């Protein structure tokens, strides 16, 4: 099948370092002494604990119920006893803690009863609920709930399976495709049917010929319309928007979802998990994680969610000069603040780094505006402009140059001859802008409250004055009527009543006019030009907050963002 491939601008080609871990078959990691299963598996949603300390659980038993529209269920990865329910530090750069169910395995691996799920009989909504209750989330690194991505009713026409795996070192998707291609495709078919997609495309970087061959063979056996499409090896090919662009030519603007353009994208591991959930009724209990870098036995391990990483990395035999561990790839990953944290559904790779493997960057030099960064930027930004503005704290300008379109892929910093940690500056600027907006929103609310109070007080005063005036008129009218001259001078009484009233009216009109003026001024003036962007752009940054949270494994709070810009990140 001849298919036209598109391309994206920019990108880089770092050395891949994939061979070491890609050569070994997936191994099953032994059960650790205890499992620490976080209830917060997908970003912005924490499951509600439904077990008690001391309770015996079976493998696959639900220990956390899905809550909220973005919630997914959490399960016991093995049989054993719940020994704790308390906060534990997460694999997150912030090093913050979240509530975890601690399970001591009994080693018997006793399953709950589980049976296949009949999608056809149950219907689409029930199938989505099934995936949610099986805890299926994106396994590419974003951990976004899959049932939510299938929920968009906007006619999805193309389903893309992301097997690009463009970050150096990571090979978990590669191995999965080599070994379980049939299951992946079956899962993709399920997802495609649920999404209502006609077309199924699988994008795999052409540095994985074995995976491509295995997927092609499986596609041949399975029949049906599916295109296994090798794509050029260029980071960040695995970025959702980049892959969509290359496979379909569609460019999804910042803040928009693929679904709005008829495209939905899933990671190959997610398709595999969906298959297990539907065809076997198995919830998502483990994932494949690459252990590589400065280790004696690099490779891929299938490990239970909740396995403490220190026990996990020990299987690979880290070198003595290992100075830190990276979670995710070297381009977008982060250094783990500590290692006694559990494996989550988003953890795709752990790299043992040593000074010789990843030397500290050379000292930062001044930007010479050489434009290398702009030529490498897949978002087609001018990174050095963003850098100058961020550095000068000129945040409005940074935003005008589309700071929030930056996907933090790191290509610019990778190529910069001045060794400037450009992405750090963007993170800083984005954080500052969001903090300011938060303050601004709070100030806005306070001001609204204040204005409303003024308005109310003015109104109360008016009403009181009107009441008084009426009363005064009444009392004045009464003696007049008593003296019998009421008929002679009705106008006097009326005037007396009217006089204060008309003065009152004038005052009222003045107040109203002043208020209207103030309102008009407020509407006309751009709100706080120097301090922060206006409301129109606030939505944009909320969407960004959402995206960034979707890209991380854990966030300290729900952030209120409802943007569903999900997708498996470029990792």
Partner 1 sequence: MIHAPYIRKPASIQRMMGLVLAALVPGIAAYVAEIGAGILVNLAIASLTALAAEALVLALRKRPVAIVLADLSAVLSAWLVALCLPPIVPWWLTVIAVLIAIVVAKHLYGGLGQNPFNPAMVAYCAMIVAYPALMSQWPPAGGLGFDTQLGLILGGARDIDAITGATALDALRTGLHQGAGPVDALMQGPAFGLLGGHGWEWIALGYLVGGLALVATRVITWHMPAAFIATLALVSGLFWLIDPARFAPPLFHLASGGAMLAAFFIVTDPVSGATTPRGKLIFAAGTALLAWTIRSFGAYPEGIAFGVLLMNLCVPLIDMKTQPRVFGRRDRGGPR
490 by DSSP, 3-state: which? helix
Q: Distance between CA atoms of 160 and 264, rounded to whole angstroms?
A: 6
Range 255-314, binding partner 1 (CB under 8 A): 256
Binding partner of residue 117 among ligand SF4, partner 1, none, CB cut-off 5 to 8 Å per kind: none
Calculate Rg over the CA atoms of the chain: 31
Of these partners, partner 1, ligand SF4, none, which one is at the site of residue 363 (CB under 5 to 8 Å by kind)? partner 1
**Which of 11, 14, 230, 258 contacts partner 1 by CB under 8 A?**
14
Instruction: For the chain, give the longest Cα–Cα distance.
Output: 115
Q: In the range 365-404, which residues lie near ligand SF4 by CB under 6 A? A: 367-373, 376-379, 381, 383-384, 387
Q: Out of 126, 225, 317, 365, which residue is the one contacting partner 1 (CB under 8 A)?
A: 365
Contact between 416 and ligand SF4 per CB under 6 A: yes
Query: Measured from the CB of residue 380, what is the shortest distance to partner 1 in angstroms?
Result: 4
CA 345/CA 339 separation, integer angstroms: 16
- Our separate counts of H helices and E strands in the chain read 17, 17
Q: How many residues does the chain have?
A: 571
Q: Which is nearer to partner 1, 23 or 361 (CB)?
A: 361
166 binds, among partner 1, ligand SF4, none (CB under 5 to 8 A by kind): none
Alpha helices per DSSP H over 264-394: 268-275, 309-316, 372-376, 383-391
Q: How far is the CB of 243 from partner 1 (least distance, A)?
A: 13
The only residue of 80, 141, 333, 410 in contact with ligand SF4, by rule CB under 6 A: 410
* Selected range binding partner 1 among 151-159, 306-314, 406-414, 430-438, rule: CB under 8 A: 406-414
Instruction: Count other C-beta atoms under 10 Å from residue 350's C-beta.
Output: 28
| Contact indicator for 70, 321 with CB cutoff of 8 Å | no
Binding string, 417-436, against ligand SF4, x = CB under 6 A? xx-x-xx--x----------
> What string of H, E and C letters represents the secondary structure of 361-383?
CCCCCCCCCCCHHHHHCCCCCCH
Q: Considering only residues 36, 76, 170, 415, which one is a binding residue for partner 1 as defined by CB under 8 A? A: 415
Q: Which strands form 158-163's sheet, in the order they lie side by side?
A: 227-231, 199-205, 158-163, 263-267
The answer to the question of residue 556 lying near ligand SF4 (CB under 6 A) is no
- b/e per residue, 44-83, with b = 16+ CB within 10 A? bbbbebebeeeeebbbbbbbbebeeebbbbbbbbbbbbbe
How many CB atoms sit inside 10 A of residue 462's CB?
A: 16
Q: Out of partner 1, ligand SF4, none, which partner does residue 331 contact, by CB within 5 to 8 A per kind?
A: partner 1
Question: What residues contact residue 306 under an 8 Å CB cut-off, 6+ apart?
Answer: 35, 36, 37, 38, 77, 100, 103, 342, 343
> 150 Cβ partners below 8 Å, 6+ apart?
128, 131, 191, 194, 195, 264
Q: How far is the CB of 11 from ligand SF4 (least distance, A)?
A: 9
Among 25, 360, 526, 560, binds partner 1 (CB under 8 A): 360
Number of residues that bind partner 1 (CB under 8 A): 59
Rounded Cα–Cα distance for residues 91 and 82 (Å):
21
Q: Which does 383 bind (CB under 5 to 8 A by kind): ligand SF4, partner 1, none?
A: ligand SF4
We find the least distance from the C-beta atom of residue 417 to partner 1, in angstroms, to be: 4
380 binds partner 1 (CB under 8 A): yes
Closest C-alpha among 454, 473, 477 to residue 465: 473
For partner 1, give the closer residue by CB, 244 or 473: 244
For position 95 contacting partner 1 by CB under 8 A, the verdict is: no
3-state DSSP call for residue 143?
coil
User: Strand 56-57's sheet: what is its strand order?
Assistant: 35-38, 97-105, 80-89, 56-57
Considering the rule CB under 8 A, would residue 361 count as an interface residue with partner 1? Answer: yes
- Residue 50 C-beta: closest distance to ligand SF4, Å: 41
CB of 264 to ligand SF4, least distance (A): 22
Least distance to partner 1 from the beta carbon of 194, Å?
A: 26
- Given the rule CB under 8 A, which of 189-197, 294-302, 339-347, 413-421 is the region that contacts partner 1? 413-421
Task: Identify the residue among 39, 74, 263, 412 touching ligand SF4 (CB under 6 A).
Answer: 412
- The footprint of ligand SF4 (CB under 6 A) covers 367-373, 376-379, 381, 383-384, 387, 406-412, 415-418, 420, 422-423, 426
- The footprint of partner 1 (CB under 8 A) covers 8-9, 12, 14-15, 168, 241, 251-254, 256, 326, 330-335, 353, 358, 360-363, 365-372, 374-375, 378-382, 384-385, 397, 400-402, 405, 410, 413-419, 421, 423-424, 427
């Amino acid at each position: 099948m001849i298919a036209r491939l598109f391309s994206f601008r920019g990108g880089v080609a770092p050395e891949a370092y994939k061979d070491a871990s890609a050569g070994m078959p997936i191994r099953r990691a032994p059960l650790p002494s205890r499992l620490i299963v976080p209830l917060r598996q997908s970003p912005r949603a924490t499951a509600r604990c439904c077990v008690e300390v001391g309770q015996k659980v079976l493998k696959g038993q639900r220990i956390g119920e899905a809550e909220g529209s973005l919630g997914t269920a959490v399960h016991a990865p093995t049989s054993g006893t719940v020994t704790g329910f308390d906060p534990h530090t997460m694999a997150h750069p912030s090093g913050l803690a979240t509530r975890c169910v601690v399970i001591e395995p009994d080693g018997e691996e006793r399953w709950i009863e589980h049976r296949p799920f009949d999608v056809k009989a149950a219907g689409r909504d029930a199938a989505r609920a099934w995936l949610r209750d099986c805890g299926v989330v994106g396994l590419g690194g974003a951990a976004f709930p899959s049932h939510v991505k299938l929920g968009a009713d906007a006619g999805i026409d193309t389903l893309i399976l992301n097997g690009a795996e463009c970050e150096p070192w990571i090979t978990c998707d590669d191995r999965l495709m080599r070994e379980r291609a049939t299951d992946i495709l079956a899962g993709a078919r399920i997802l495609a049917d649920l999404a209502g997609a006609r077309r199924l495309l699988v994008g795999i970087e052409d540095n994985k010929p074995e995976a491509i061959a295995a997927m092609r063979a499986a596609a041949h056996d399975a029949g049906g319309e599916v295109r296994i499409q090798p794509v050029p090896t260029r980071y960040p090919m695995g970025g959702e928007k980049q892959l969509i662009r290359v496979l379909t030519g569609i460019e999804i603007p910042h803040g928009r979802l693929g679904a709005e353009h008829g495209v939905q994208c899933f990671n190959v591991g997610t398709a595999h998990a969906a298959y297990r959930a539907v065809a076997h009724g198995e919830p998502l209990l483990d994932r494949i994680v690459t252990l590589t870098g400065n280790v004696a036995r690099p490779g891929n391990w299938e490990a239970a969610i909740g396995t403490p990483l220190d026990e996990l990395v020990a299987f690979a035999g880290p070198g003595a000069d290992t100075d830190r561990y990276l979670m995710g790839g070297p381009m977008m990953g982060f250094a783990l603040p500590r290692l006694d944290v559990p494996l989550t559904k988003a953890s795709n790779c752990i790299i043992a780094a040593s000074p010789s493997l990843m030397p500290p960057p050379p000292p930062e030099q001044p930007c010479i505006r050489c434009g290398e960064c702009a030529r490498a930027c897949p978002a087609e930004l001018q990174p050095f402009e963003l850098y100058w503005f961020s550095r000068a704290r000129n945040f409005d300008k940074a935003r005008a140059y589309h700071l929030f379109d930056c996907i933090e892929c790191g290509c610019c910093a990778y190529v910069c001859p001045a060794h400037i940690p450009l992405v750090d500056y963007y993170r800083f600027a984005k954080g500052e802008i969001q903090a300011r907006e938060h303050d601004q929103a709070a100030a806005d609310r306070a001001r609204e409250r204040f204005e409303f109070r003024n308005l109310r007080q003015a109104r109360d005063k008016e009403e009181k004055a009107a009441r008084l005036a009426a009363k005064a008129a009444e009392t004045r009218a009464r003696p007049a009527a008593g003296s019998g001259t009421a008929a002679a001078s009705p106008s006097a009484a009326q005037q007396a009543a009217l006089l204060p009233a008309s003065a009152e009216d004038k005052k009222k009109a003045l107040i109203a006019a002043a208020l209207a003026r103030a309102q008009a001024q407020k509407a006309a003036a751009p709100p706080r030009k120097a301090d922060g962007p206006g409301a129109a752009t606030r939505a944009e940054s909320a969407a960004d907050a959402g995206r960034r949270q979707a890209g991380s494994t854990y966030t300290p709070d729900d952030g209120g963002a409802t943007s569903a810009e999900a997708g498996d990140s470029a990792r």
